[in-house]
Amino acid sequence: MSRTSPHKSAPTVAPAAFNIHPDALIRRKQILGADGNPPLLAIGATKFHALIAEGRLPKPRKIGSASFWRVGDLLDAIARL
């Protein structure tokens, strides 16, 4: 028996995302939710990185060894999903 659903649903975006400035840079834990914070994008880390590899979500910007994503780029990509 398969655990995956035959119907794929679009990822959902937290309403709070629209209060964030589009030029803000955020980290993965802010996108996927951590430490009790609501996620910007309601998917798991594996799916998140798969969407980046497929080119459906933007690649991160590196500052030192840390990865950041521009909120405006993420919201545009999510709207196209």
Q: How many domains does the chain have?
A: 1
6-38 pLDDT, tens digit each: 556 555 555 555 578 889 999 999 999 988 888
Residue 42 lies in a domain: yes
Strands across the sheet containing 25-26: 25-26, 66-70, 61-63
25-81 tens-digit pLDDT: 999 999 999 888 888 888 999 999 999 999 999 999 999 999 999 999 999 999 998
Q: Within a domain: residue 34? A: yes
In a domain? residue 5 = no
Residue 68 CA: distances (Å) to CA of 4, 5, 61:
30, 31, 5
Asked whether 36 and 80 are in contact (CB, 8 A), the reply is no
User: pTM, whole model, 2 decimals?
Assistant: 0.74
Asked if residue 52 belongs to a domain, the reply is yes
Q: How far is Cα 7 from Cα 29, in angstroms, rounded to an integer?
A: 27
